[in-house]
Amino acid sequence: MAATAEQLQALARIEKSPGYWQTVGRRLMRDPVAVGAGIIILILLSLAIFAPWIAPHDPYHGRMLGRLSPIGTPGHPLGTDELGRDMLSRLIYGGRLSLFMGITPVFIAFFVGSAIGVAAGYIGGTFNSIVMRTLDVLFAFPSVLLAIALSGALGAGIVNGLIALTVVFIPPIARIAESVTTSVRKLEYVEAARASGANAFTVVRVHVLGNVLGPIFVYATSLISVSMILAAGLSFLGLGVRPPEPEWGLMLNTLRNAIYVQPWLAALPGVMIFLTSISFNLLSDGLRSAMDIKT
Amino acid sequence: MLIYTARRILYTLPIMLGVALVCFALVHISPGDPLVSVLPPDASEELRLRMMQIYGFDRSYVEQFLIWLGRALQGDLGNSIATGRPVAAEVWGAVGNTLMLAVVATIIGFTLGCLFGFVAGYFRDTWIDKLASFISVIGVSVPHYWLGMVLVIIFSVQLNWLPATGAGPGGSSAWVWDWEHVRHLILPAVTMSVIPMGIVARTVRALVADILSQEFVSGLRAKGLLDRGVLAHVIKNAAPTALAVMGLQLGYLLGGSILIETVFSWPGTGFLLGQAIFQRDLPLLQGTILVLALFFVVLNLLVDVVQTALDPRVQRS
Amino acid sequence: MTASPILQVDGLVKHFPIKGGLFGKRQVVRAVDGVTFDVAAGETLGIVGESGCGKSTTARLLVQLIEPDTGQITFNGKLLGRDLSLRELRRHVQMVFQDSYASLNPRLTMEDAIAFGPQVHGVPEGKARQLARDLLDRVGLDPQRFAGRYPHELSGGQRQRVNIARALAFEPEVIVLDEAVSALDKSVEAQVLNLLVDLRQERKLTYVFISHDLNVVRFISDRVMVMYLGEVAEIGPVEDIYERPGHPYTQALLAAMPSMDPDQRTEKVPLSGDPPNPINPPSGCRFHTRCAHAFARCGQVAPPPIELNPGHRAACHLLREEPKAA
């Protein structure tokens, strides 16, 4: 035991430099725009999670007499929608599906796309060509068109919308993952790791992933903004989420006919989509410049 | 250059085939009986089988694909289930309107984007840069369909300056160059222009900042060369990439116009797609998407070839 | 040969395919084209040649970072692929690269980087870390200061010491040093070279030392192999090569060396131009296009290696035409 204690003591004396992610975190915290965007995202997320405790009214319950009451109506600070449901409550509840539909596809695509891209980049050769040429086919569709085509063919519904969006985001993430992995793979430390006799999985886990996941992750966060707009857009078209669920894109759709009656009320759900999308964009930009550490 | 172009075209062919395959598959990933919208609900089994035969649904997928591909190559995309009219004619009628909208939007977006991007890159890290960059972030973050609604609210509902929907007076769907039609074009085109604006601005800012930070530019400035010389140099170096981005954006707008066309009831391909989705008119859906995707592929090809011709540095082995 | 060979390389060939033309006419770069040599246990074999001569490819072939098209590698009498697995070979034969920064993972601390290898070969983590700290100490870096550092915080010389420690962590018998000191400042280079010499003696190591710097190679090597366009031009004991070079190419290389003695410096450039393209190497003797002594036969027939002294061989027709003068 004495030896262990001695070793522990020696360990404690070792000067430790801050790791890469620690440095990135510290730099990010010094960026006021990114911090602001992050706080807004946290607020939006907590509103969605704690909606039942925060929302003043039941988002599904409408009163036919109180339809389309203006912003500032007593009891309904943001007015009511075309079925007399409280807008504030629906906007708060709407975050649940909207954020879920916007973030989940990118999240899944991050894992699937990274796996495909890293494998293609690391293995290289014919396997790489086959994978990347297949992805090129999906790249031949503009993302909006592909999302609408897939969910249009699959039919409306939350799951179908998620599938469509995930398929849209896998190719760009895989392509980034492939190019980063290909460049990292050529570096000598990966060669050195291979020369250590470690198997491919160990080399990828210890030496490749740590250096490629960062850039892929930043790229993926920048896609969340696009995904939010697209997901709400699908619901806006009547694909994706179906009534009477509260969801920002769908709310925008159903309120579209009300623009001559309560124009600014009708535009409210879009403000939420915009706010979410721009916050993710600014956070992603901040993260990108925080990770751009010159050594 | 010729070899590069030829190789690039050869490389595009399998992608086109893949695109066709995806479009073909769209019909088959769609749940339910594809005949459900043509057949009366009480159709007999015999009638169902005959219709299956007529539409070719009784053959193997490979056969169906080859037959469909063969027809598509001859310009026959089948008939719309809802209207019975040939899909090719429907799509062709709508493509012109979408192209009109997308081209005008690209020109507006490119001009504004270049302006913002250039100013931001030239005055890098000043408040002007911050402001211009913020505008471009708004451009890429705004849900454009919502922006369309807001513009309608301001300019149609509140100010009553411009029409809210349609491509011309009285539901006219054919484009004519007159003031009435141009008035209808303004709102959707401005809305749509925001998408390329943000991206062009970001690209141009990065390009300009990069070129200005290069040593030979500092050298030019140090030698006392007037800013005009530097400016010309920057434009010459940034132009190929900026043009390439513009070309790609035009392609995205062609395929991505569906949401904006829906907001403004613009009688283009996006509107057609919306119809196809709601009436579950799969041949129409398939045909429209095939045409739009092929447009996109060809545009990509053109952009690549033109960019390579303008800027030999781009050419890769 | 003084001792039994620890490493035997026989007929190593590596051609890299390259693309070209519309349909990608297949051409090859003959990077390594039939290289045969032995390395005796405990000796240092220097490999010299101009850039593009196949030195680095040979190094990568030795640790099988790239697979040879043909050729055999035998370690301690065991044929790789038959008696010896790749994993075993890699434990016994380690490599140090030229670029000290690129050869360290930027996300790993020095301790993690060194401990990775032993862990791969089954050493438990705690022991591997202890080993890593001992090795840092051995290569002259205070473990308390350096174990927790990242590559960008170290100087080039310090990083190369870490790379040496990382190779040592496998307890290898052979270390392939590919231009390992070439990127360092002269004073740092000398310190690292001295470290290598000490370690060689202390741990009974065998080095394959690749460099374009003839002075450094002369300092550290027991034997030297000269490569030209993927082939062995000459191989022999270091004094033979430097004092009595047999091959005109070796003579030219040595003449091009900046001499320490100003009186010895010549204005004449002994070797001009770049080596020919390894895609289409010259016929016959590959050096004949740049050789001052070339005659008709040189362009037609590739010269076989000729033994000049025991262990000293050179591939040149001149040596056959005029038998040993001595």
Per-residue pLDDT at A181? 92
Q: Which residues of B touch C19 (CB under 8 A)?
A: 317
Per-residue pLDDT at B314? 57
In Å, how far from its chain's centre is CA C58?
7
pLDDT (tens digit per residue) in C92-128: 999 998 888 888 888 889 999 999 988 988 889 889 9
- The superfamily CATH assigns to domain B92-316 is MetI-like (1.10.3720.10)
Between A231-235, C257-261, C278-282, the lowest mean confidence (pLDDT) is in C257-261
Q: With a cut of 80, say whether residue B224 has pLDDT above it.
A: no
CB contact under 8 A, A188 and C99: yes
pLDDT (tens digit per residue) in B298-314: 888 888 888 777 776 65
Domain CATH for A138: 1.10.3720.10
pLDDT (tens digit per residue) in A6-35: 665 655 566 777 878 888 888 888 888 899
Asked if C278 contacts C31 with a C-beta cutoff of 8 angstroms, the reply is yes
pTM of the model: 0.83
Instruction: List all residues of chain B from 298 to 317 with a beta carbon under 8 Å from chain C.
Output: 317
Q: Does residue A60 form part of some domain? A: no
Per-residue pLDDT at C132? 92
Between A163-167, B227-231, C49-53, the lowest mean confidence (pLDDT) is in B227-231
Point out the residue among B15, B137, B149 whose CB comes nearest to the CB of A281. B137
Per-residue pLDDT band for C324 (boundaries 50, 70, 90) equals very low
pLDDT: is B135 or A37 the higher one? A37
Q: With a cut of 90, say whether residue C46 has pLDDT above it.
A: yes
Mean pLDDT of C203-231: 91
CB contact under 8 A, B262 and A140: no
Point out the residue among C107, C116, C126 whose CB comes nearest to the CB of A193. C116
Per-residue pLDDT band for C18 (boundaries 50, 70, 90) equals confident
Per-residue pLDDT band for A170 (boundaries 50, 70, 90) equals very high
User: Residue C273 and residue B208: Cα distance in Å, rounded?
Assistant: 40
Orientation angle between helical segments B61-73 and B2-29, nearest 10 degrees: 130
CB contact under 8 A, C87 and A197: yes
Q: Does residue A132 form part of some domain? A: yes
CA atoms within 13 A on the CB side of C48: 28
Q: Which residues of B touch A138 (CB under 8 A)?
A: 22
B2 touches chain C (CB under 8 A): no
E strand map for B7-104: none
Q: With a cut of 80, say whether residue B81 has pLDDT above it.
A: no
Q: Does residue A76 form part of some domain? A: no
pLDDT (tens digit per residue) in C179-201: 888 888 888 899 999 999 999 99
Write out the residue range of the structural domain in which residue A140 sits: 27-55+83-291
Q: With a cut of 60, say whether residue C326 has pLDDT above it.
A: no
Mean pLDDT of C256-262: 67
Q: Does residue A71 form part of some domain? A: no
Q: Does residue A95 form part of some domain? A: yes
Order of strands, sheet of C70-75, starting from the edge strand that comes earlier in the sequence: C27-40, C5-18, C70-75, C78-79
Between A19-23, A95-99, A183-187, C132-136, the lowest mean confidence (pLDDT) is in A19-23
pLDDT (tens digit per residue) in B87-137: 888 888 888 888 888 889 999 999 998 888 888 887 877 888 888 888 888
Mean pLDDT of B47-57: 72
Mean pLDDT of B270-291: 84
Q: Does residue A104 form part of some domain? A: yes
Q: Does residue A167 form part of some domain? A: yes
Q: Which residues of A touch C143 (CB under 8 A)?
A: 14
pLDDT: is C145 or B238 the higher one? C145
* A189, A213, A217, best to mutate vs chain C, most C CBs in 10 Å: A189
Point out the residue among A155, A274, A278 whose CB comes nearest to the CB of B146. A274
Asked if B21 contacts B4 with a C-beta cutoff of 8 angstroms, the reply is no
Per-residue pLDDT band for A37 (boundaries 50, 70, 90) equals very high
Per-residue pLDDT band for C20 (boundaries 50, 70, 90) equals low
* Gap from A147 CA to chain C (nearest CA, Å): 36
Q: What is chain C's length? A: 326
- Dig out the tokens for C243 from the structure: 């004092």
Placement of tokens 């190419």 in the chain: C249
* Gap from B236 CA to chain A (nearest CA, Å): 28
Instruction: List all residues of chain C from 94 to 133 with a beta carbon under 8 Å from chain A.
Output: 94-95, 97-99, 102-109, 111, 113, 116-117, 120-121, 126, 130, 133
In Å, how far from its chain's centre is CA C182?
12
Q: Which residues of C touch A206 (CB under 8 A)?
A: 105, 108, 116
Per-residue pLDDT at B3? 80
CA-nearest residue of chain B to A255?
B149
E strand map for chain C: 5-18, 27-40, 44-48, 70-75, 78-79, 93-96, 174-178, 206-210, 223-228, 231-237, 305-309, 312-315
CA atoms within 13 A on the CB side of C89: 25
Per-residue pLDDT at A119? 94
Per-residue pLDDT at B317? 38
Chain C neighbors (3+ CB pairs < 8 Å): A, B
Placement of tokens 């709508």 in the chain: B94
Per-residue pLDDT at C325? 43
Q: Which residues of C touch A192 (CB under 8 A)?
A: 95, 97, 103, 163, 166
Quote the number of domains for chain A.
1
Cα angle for residues B36, A157, A230 (degrees, 5° grid): 120
Q: Which residues of A touch B143 (CB under 8 A)?
A: 228-229, 232-233, 270, 273-274, 277
Point out the residue among A137, A144, A256 whose CB comes nearest to the CB of B258. A144
Q: With a cut of 50, say whether residue B142 has pLDDT above it.
A: yes
Instruction: List all residues of chain B from 4 to 63 with a beta carbon under 8 Å from chain C.
Output: 6-7
pLDDT (tens digit per residue) in A72-105: 777 777 878 777 788 888 889 988 999 999 999 9
User: Quick one: what percent of chain A has pLDDT higher than 90?
Assistant: 33
Please give the domain boundaries of chain C with CATH numbers for all domains. 5-107+150-319 (3.40.50.300)
From-to residues of CATH 1.10.3720.10 in chain B:
92-316
CB contact under 8 A, C22 and B6: yes
Mean pLDDT of chain C: 85
Q: How do C312-315 and C231-237 pair as beta strands?
A: antiparallel
Per-residue pLDDT at A295? 45
Nearest to C206 by CA among C175, C169, C230: C175
Q: What are all long-range contacts of A7-11, with beta carbons under 8 Å and residues at least 24 apart?
A: A7/C126, A7/C130, A10/C133, A10/C144
Mean pLDDT of A53-81: 78
Asked if C164 contacts C198 with a C-beta cutoff of 8 angstroms, the reply is no
* Gap from A267 CA to chain B (nearest CA, Å): 7
Q: With a cut of 90, say whether residue C2 has pLDDT above it.
A: no
Per-residue pLDDT at C85? 86
* Gap from C22 CA to chain B (nearest CA, Å): 6
User: Residue C101 and residue B288: Cα distance in Å, rounded?
Assistant: 53
Q: Does residue A18 form part of some domain? A: no
CB contact under 8 A, A210 and C95: no
CB contact under 8 A, B258 and A143: no
Mean pLDDT of A248-265: 85
CA-nearest residue of chain C to A201?
C120
Nearest to C32 by CA among C76, C66, C6, C75: C66
CA atoms within 13 A on the CB side of C201: 6
Q: What are all long-range contacts of C236-245, with beta carbons under 8 Å and residues at least 24 apart?
A: C236/C308, C236/C309, C236/C311, C236/C312, C236/C313, C236/C314, C237/C309, C237/C311, C237/C312, C238/C46, C240/C308, C240/C309, C240/C311, C240/C312, C241/C312, C242/C214, C242/C218, C244/C308, C244/C309, C244/C312, C245/C314
Distance between the two ends of chain B, CA-based, in angstroms?
A: 12
Asked if C130 contacts C115 with a C-beta cutoff of 8 angstroms, the reply is no
Q: With a cut of 80, say whether residue B174 has pLDDT above it.
A: no
Per-residue pLDDT band for C21 (boundaries 50, 70, 90) equals very low
CB contact under 8 A, B3 and C22: yes
Per-residue pLDDT at B26? 81
Per-residue pLDDT at C321? 55
User: Residue C58 and residue A147: Cα distance in Å, rounded?
Assistant: 51
Per-residue pLDDT band for A140 (boundaries 50, 70, 90) equals confident
